[in-house]
Amino acid sequence: MAQYRVVSGSVALITIQNPPVNALRAAVREGLFNTIKRASSDPQVRSVVLSGHNGTFCGGADIKEFGNVSLPGPHLVEIFQLMEDLVKPVVAAIEGFALGGGLELALACHYRIGHSKAKVGFPEVNLGLFPGAGGSQRLPRLVGVPAALDIIITGRHVAAGEALKLGLLDRVIDQNTVDAAVTFSKIQKCTSPPISGKPLDNHRLGNRPCPPLENMDAFFEEAMKRVHSRARGAVAPITCVQAVRGAATLPFHKGMELEKMLLGTLFNSAQAQASQYCFFAERAGARWSMPSGARWDTCKAKPISTAAVIGLGTMGRGITVALARAGLSVVAVETQEHQLAEAQRAVSRMLKGGGRVSYSPDLQAAAEVDLVVEAVFEDMAIKEKIFKQLSEVCKPGTLLTTNTSTLDIDRLASCTRDPQLVVGMHFFAPAHIMRLLEVVYGPRSSPEAVATAMQLGKRMGKVSVAVGNCTGFVGNRMLKPYLEQANFLLEEGATPELVDAALEEFGFPMGVFKMSDLSGLDVGWRVRKEEGLTGPGVTAGQPMRIRHGRRYSPLGDLMCEEGRYGQKTGSGWYLYDKPGGRVARSDPWLRNFLEQYRARHGLVARRISQQEVLERCLYALINEGFRVLEDGIAASPQNIDAIYVFGYSWPKHRGGPMFYASQVGLARVLEGLNHYHQAHPDVPHLEPCSLLRRLVASGSPPINKWSEVVKGHRSQL
């Protein structure tokens, strides 16, 4: 766990060994504690080098241990103090990553030498924590308060070059880092009078004062304001500011006491648990499986080096950029000449002149590629035609994928020669930025096709989740009842402002109505027309607020009929200063419109609380999530949560909808749904799904045990 060797005659080389990232689990902490003591008392040893096995220094504390009430083995703070106090120079040899507790370990060393490709950082804030093993106190003393606060609050990875400039690293080298650190440590020994300890004092960060900061009060006030407005209810970023303020104002030992107290408030908090759950949910998608039993570890991906993107609207352009950035050679096809020229300019701008992209107005240009992503207009007839053509044009074995967000993958597959080569690759806008990729398999998609799309997602840096084929797949299927509830709430007396405020306070960056204005109200309108819910498909005399015997809200359709498509037309649920404007203002027209609508339909507006908004919107969405599990469309609640956190901006500190349901308590969610369904019996989305009932009847097991209940439940359906 921590290997000890004496090298070069007098250097104790301590190597952390805990693959894959050398996380500091109990046995590693034990090993570090013992080897530091050994180096201290070994008369042959004059200096110490600390390194990580297999090219990674240390990925920090072991997140898997965090569920424990008290962590076993020696505490990191104790180990780091022992190391800092050592009277022999200690040098960190940093290759790969030094993150979280790994960077705190390096800060407790007297010197830090990094490889030019190394990355350091404090990502704890993403786990609902902050650097609570001395990092919040030592980093500001080394690099100053503003730089330290930025690193701690953002959780970003700092490249070696920047770390050198900040003074976080003493040297950056391109050669073998351990060898360089060994040589460096011996020089320190030669220039330092032996064993007195005094010459190292300036390198013990705990002994140093924080570099002074002018206008400190104003600086921290401003920082706190910024964090409050961005944190959207997350507590960890606020604690980061409090801890760094402690470093700037208190002596080290007092700062450490404050750090301990603050960490105590976060460590087992609901937000920390939710954020840490997200860490593992993000990675769980890679271990995909299909109902056929095909799995990630038994299916091989096809090699892909060339791709074609068909259709260069906003999505197609983003997809082209994402593929090119992943190193593929891309043919971008758009039949409309003016759109092609515009897309070429936009893609070049985004790629800043890099990437291998060629452009063509002709589908024939896709003849030789390994994979196609179709990203044309969301219209089944057009897509079917393109898939037929692609099937004739492309070389045998080309994977044909579609970016459709709702349409039937299997229907598209049936237009092709090789339906097993067809899968969905559902990107999220903007496609070159948003992390999520839903990889949708149809009943005939081959495991190899799924493996290839998943592998490509990984190359693009996406969080890829394999899901089954149904209308809307996982994400949009669950979104439908959420949007529906928001519209019903408007009918009953709420305003877009009230609904959005509740959701934004919950932690979404944008409420549902601001989000609809951003994406364009016409998108859903077109889908509803295709589904025959509105437009010419609706039979004359059909009541406006009922479809297929269920409650229906035509509000979105009426807005579109008024030409209010959202930001793009300058008005939607809100008013904007111009078409394309971004700042939403309340619109008196809308208030009037809603009043008239309610009067026309005999609806009496009532006061609606934020709690009702949250419960109806979120519980309806969660209920559909249980149906998705029940139908086997998603393989696990973790997959659903990853989709929501990385594709729909569900707040990470709430852990995704299914995790949130487990935190609220399944019985309470069930009770809420029962209550709202009784009040609205014509809304099937509010009727609790049978899997939820069964989970509650099974005693509401923790989320990692749901799969057993799901299996039993599905076998009986």
Ligand X SMILES: CC/C=C\C/C=C/C(=O)SCCNC(=O)CCNC(=O)[C@H](O)C(C)(C)COP(=O)(O)OP(=O)(O)OC[C@H]1O[C@@H](n2cnc3c(N)ncnc32)[C@H](O)[C@@H]1OP(=O)(O)O
Closest approach, Cβ 60 to ligand X, in A, equals 3
Peptide bond into 688 cis (omega under 30): no
Closest approach, Cβ 675 to ligand X, in A, equals 38
Closest approach, Cβ 77 to ligand X, in A, equals 8
Q: Identify which of residues 72 and 580 has a Cβ nearer to ligand X in the complex.
A: 72
Which residues in this chain contact ligand X in the complex, by CB under 6 A? 20-21, 23, 59-64, 71, 76, 97, 99-101, 123-124, 127, 129, 131-133, 280, 283
CB distance 495 to 614 below 8 Å: no
CB distance 122 to 236 below 8 Å: no
On the CB side of 289, CA atoms within 13 Å amount to 7
Q: Quote the CA–CA distance of 519 and 516 in Å, as a whole number.
A: 5
Name the active-site residue from 84, 124, 438, 497: 124
Tell me how crowded residue 660 is: count the other CB atoms within 10 A of its CB. 23
Within the chain, how many helices (H) and strands (E) appear? 28, 19
Q: Quote the CA–CA distance of 585 and 579 in Å, as a whole number.
A: 13
Q: Quote the CA–CA distance of 106 and 86 in Å, as a whole number.
A: 14
Q: Print the SS3 string covering 105-154.
A: HHHHCCEEEEECCCEEECHHHHHCCCCCCCHHHHHHHHHCHHHHHHHHHH
Q: Quote the CA–CA distance of 639 and 462 in Å, as a whole number.
A: 14
Known catalytic membership, residue 448 = no
Name the active-site residue from 95, 104, 334, 497: 104
**Alpha-carbon distances, residue 373 vs 318, 331, 387, 536, 712 (angstroms):** 12, 10, 11, 32, 37
Helix (H) or strand (E) holding 468: strand 463-468
Closest approach, Cβ 157 to ligand X, in A, equals 7
Q: Quote the CA–CA distance of 52 and 39 in Å, as a whole number.
A: 17
Closest approach, Cβ 62 to ligand X, in A, equals 4
Q: Identify which of residues 75 and 208 has a Cβ nearer to ligand X in the complex.
A: 75
90: β partners: 48
Closest approach, Cβ 595 to ligand X, in A, equals 51
Going by C-beta distance under 8 Å and a sequence separation of 6 or more, which residues neighbour residue 485? Answer: 616, 617, 620, 685
Q: Identify which of residues 132 and 457 has a Cβ nearer to ligand X in the complex.
A: 132
Name residue, tokens 């509803």: 528
Q: Identify which of residues 284 and 669 has a Cβ nearer to ligand X in the complex.
A: 284
Q: Roughly how many angstroms between the first and final C-alpha of the chain, as a whole number?
A: 49
Going by C-beta distance under 8 Å and a sequence separation of 6 or more, which residues neighbour residue 573? Answer: 496, 513, 514, 516, 517, 521, 559, 566, 587, 590
Known catalytic membership, residue 124 = yes
Q: Identify which of residues 141 and 444 has a Cβ nearer to ligand X in the complex.
A: 141
Q: Quote the CA–CA distance of 559 and 474 in Å, as a whole number.
A: 27
- Fill in the DSSP letter of residue 53: G
Name residue, tokens 């180096």: 39
Helix (H) or strand (E) holding 426: strand 422-427
Tell me how crowded residue 278 is: count the other CB atoms within 10 A of its CB. 27
Closest approach, Cβ 297 to ligand X, in A, equals 12
> How, if at all, do strands 436-441 and 422-427 pair?
antiparallel
Q: Identify which of residues 61 and 312 has a Cβ nearer to ligand X in the complex.
A: 61
Q: Identify which of residues 154 and 420 has a Cβ nearer to ligand X in the complex.
A: 154
CB distance 662 to 701 below 8 Å: no
Q: Identify which of residues 279 and 593 has a Cβ nearer to ligand X in the complex.
A: 279
**How would you class 50 by CB atoms within 10 Å of its CB: exposed for 0-12, middle for 13-18, buried for 19 or more?**
buried
Closest approach, Cβ 61 to ligand X, in A, equals 3
Closest approach, Cβ 121 to ligand X, in A, equals 8
Q: Identify which of residues 104 and 484 has a Cβ nearer to ligand X in the complex.
A: 104
Closest approach, Cβ 357 to ligand X, in A, equals 27
Q: Identify which of residues 132 and 511 has a Cβ nearer to ligand X in the complex.
A: 132
The catalytic residue positions are 104, 124
